[in-house]
Amino acid sequence: MTFGPVVNAETDVVSARMKRTLLVGPVLLTLLTAPVARADADSYMNCIDMSMQHLGYGTPASSGSWIQLGKSIRESVQMGGISPTQEINVVEQLGWNHQTAEAIVKCALVNGPI
């Protein structure tokens, strides 16, 4: 004679794992993506810094506008179908010479911020 619900050990194990996954999953996702986004922004700014120093401009003053420019370049090329050459022309219209515009676009596409 059995009293109480019938317990299936395999179902309980799966249920416990699902509960842990549902609780831990969002936390891990947050922890894993935040450093990646920060690392991308850091590597992009390092690329910009090194390129500007190499081209004789010194270190850029503010990272905020550079990060916005990098995001814009990356979005235009990856989602907008704009070619890197066209994007270099856009950066040249912002006042940069061709060599500098090329470095800026390369940094955005290779190390661009998310």
pLDDT score at 9? 54
pLDDT score at 32? 45
Average pLDDT over residues 9-36: 49
Q: What is the pLDDT of residues 30-75, one digit of tens each?
A: 444 444 445 478 888 899 889 988 888 876 767 788 889 999 999 9
Q: What is the pLDDT of residues 85-108, one digit of tens each?
A: 999 999 999 999 999 999 999 999
The angle at the Cα of 46, spanning 89 to 73, to the nearest 5 degrees, equals: 30
Q: Give pTM, 2 decimals.
A: 0.63
DSSP at 62: -
Q: Which residues contact 113 (CB under 8 A, 6 or more apart)?
A: 37, 40, 41, 44, 67, 70, 71, 74
Confidence grade of residue 83 (pLDDT, cut at 50, 70, 90): very high
Give the CA distances from residue 37 to residues 46, 52, 71, 82, in Å, rounded to whole numbers and listed in that order: 14, 22, 12, 23
Assign 3-class secondary structure to 85-100. HHHHHHHHHCCCCHHH
Name the residue with tokens 């979005």. Answer: 75
